[in-house]
Structure formats: C-alpha cells, structure tokens
Amino acid sequence: MRLFYEWGGKQLQKHGEELCGDNLAFSRQADSVMLALSDGLGSGVKANILSTLTTQIVMHLMENELPLGEVVETLSRTLPVCEIRKLAYSTFSIGKFSTEGHARVVEFDTPSVVLLRQRKSAPLPYEERNIEGKTIRELEVELKVGDWLVFVSDGVLNAGIGGLYPLGWGAEQVARFLEEHCHPDLSAQQLADKLAEAAWDLYCGKPGDDVSVAVIKVRHKLTVTILTGPPADRSVDKKIVDRFTKRQGFLAVCGGTTSKIVARCMGNKSLEVDLATMKPDVPPLARLEGIDLMTEGILTLTRTNELLHSGTDQEMVKFQTDAASALLRLCIEVDHIHFIVGLSVNPAHQNPDLPRQLGMKLAVVREIAEELRKRGKEVTIETV
C-alpha cells in the first residue's frame, strides 16, 4: 500500500530579531513529498533572505524533476561563501520521500535527521561525498507506517547552553526527548510544536539562536467522501448510494433529502435527529448506521465555508457540537476529501427570500474545496 506523509513545522526567531534566519519548505507531488530546511549564516533579515533563497532554489529544481544529486551540485556551486568567516552563507537539509516508501536525505552542515521507529531512534547509514569543496552527507532508507523523521536546525541542539546544559541540549538528548514524545496519536505538527516548546523553555524564553523543527510522519492516507444533493436522474439513486457506501474511509452525507435517499437505499434504515446539536444558523446533526457524519445541506455547507474563510482551525472547534464544526473537523483531520455533488434542483432553494448562496450548492462546494487545498488537502469533486 502507498504511504502518506504528513508534515509539520515550527520556527522560533533568535531573541531580539524580527525574522527567523532559518527557512522551511514542504511540497507534495503526485508520488512524493519534498522537504527543505535551510539555516542562513547569522540571524535576522540577512540570514532569512539567504535561507529563503536556498529553499526556493531547492523546491523549484525538485518540482521540475531535477535529480536530487544535481540539485545539491547546483546549490554547492550557487551559494556564496563568507570571505571573512570562510563559511557558506547557508546550510541545508533536503529530503525526498516517495509514496512507495523510499526516502533520500542530503545534508550540508546541518544536524543529522532523527528517524524514530517504534518510538526508538534508529541508526542511519550515512555516506559522505565532496561536492565543490563541501562535504555532503547522504542517506537512503526504506520507511514504514509509524515512522517519524525529524529535521532540526542547530538552534535546537544549542538550547540550554550555559544553563541546564552547559554545552547545549545536544543530539542525544533531543533524540531521547523525541522517543518519549512521539506518541502515535500526535500529529506531525503537534510533535514539532512540542520540540520547539521544549527548546523555548531551555532558552528561558529568549532563544540564543534561530530554532527550526520539521517533522514527517509516515502513515496511511485518511479520506472522506461527502455526498451532498440528490442525483439529477432519480433512477440512479441506488447506484450512486451503493458506490458511495463502498468507498474507503469516512462517509459523510450533507442534505436532508440526500439523507433520506441514503437511508432508503441502505434498506430503509431509520434516521435519528440529534436536536441537541442544533444552532440558530445551523440545523442539527442526524445519525444513521454506517454513516460517519450526517448533516443538513446548504446551510451547513455555507457555514462550514464561512469558518474556513475566517481561518478557523481544528482547535477552535474542538469542543463545538454543531454540524458545521463537525464537518470542518472531519475535513481538517483527513488528507483527501472527495465530494459527490448531486445536481437535482431543490425547489425550496430557489425562493428569492432565502440567501443567494442557497441556489449555489456546487459553487459553495467549490469554495470549500479551494480553502481546503490552501490548507494542503487533496480535494476532488464529482457531479451526478
């Protein structure tokens, strides 16, 4: 089975600086995920410009399918060297992770990546080579579901220097911390946040260096299929519902009429409406055996769209019980959202006294899809 890579990143700028001198970049392609972490020489604006330039070059070249080895050679020839300190103006870690499980990592003067497998730090088979006078470390490894890869800048290893850890936190202590905290239920972002928070605490809230953490979590892809609106041709109701219920992952239905069709096609199963979840602007949830989430249609979709446009995240609706919040949570929790939109016209939605968007279900779905894609989700839309 193809692997899915969830990513998360967290950065802290050096105390007294307006910008972080490190830069992180992630990119998802059809068959791989790419990561670049760069640490600009020094800190502040100049370092930020240099590190950003580095990650942009990396991503541009890799997205245009230049082999990783050639990307490194291009960087090595392109990046200048400080004439006074004789150091490269930026260092970098680059990772490419295929959906088949093959990972390749290239590092130049950055801390080694940490591979966590079964909550233990695993040894890594590095090889070194010289490119344009720079010593480059390379690593190739096969990944499994449950693995974590954690990339850090040296600001993480230096945390606590002169204090709790006179020589800094160090790679071994960082690996030990990650072993203790890489719980399977955590997201990649949550683990990145935990590590950065620990570094912040060791710096006593005044980081002496820029801090960057990038986390890759290896798992199976999570999907949801959302059926909303009856098909334009009533004769295909059963066919559409059968295909819908056989799809892998979570199943959600949005729409009162659609819910009744699904219940009928699933053997006249009874619908139970949960009035406790009703809000003034959002109708209540319903329950149906075999369906993970069942809501009203256009009003709930419109409210979900508003929440997405306002920047609402999972934490902000964590304890909300209304249908729009539940739909938003589900869409944020998964990686791929597939909409099946029925094109049958509901006469009630053509009432001129109702909001204009009520006659635009497909348009609202498209807006939701656009916002979800901005959050890194894969979204597909099918009309029936």
SS3 155: helix
How do beta strands 4-12 and 22-28 pair? Answer: unpaired
Q: What is the pLDDT of residue 129?
A: 87
For the entire predicted model, the pTM comes to: 0.81
Q: What residues of the chain score a pLDDT lower than 50? A: 356-358
Residue in 25, 47, 50 with CA at minimum distance from that of residue 36:
25
CATH no. of 4-219: 3.60.40.10
Q: At what angle do helices 361-374 and 298-309 cross, to 10 degrees?
A: 30
Position 350 scores a pLDDT of 54
> Which residue in the block uniquely carries the two structure tokens 């029925």?
342
For the chain, which residues make up each domain, given as ranges?
4-219, 223-383
Predicted confidence at residue 349, as pLDDT, reads: 53
Give the pLDDT score at 358.
46
315: burial class by Cβ within 10 Å (0-12, 13-18, 19+)? Answer: exposed
| Half-sphere exposure for 336 (CA within 13 Å, toward CB) | 15
Q: What is the dihedral of CA 371, 373, 376, 378, to 10 degrees?
A: 140
The answer to whether 244 touches 237, Cβ cutoff 8 Å, is no
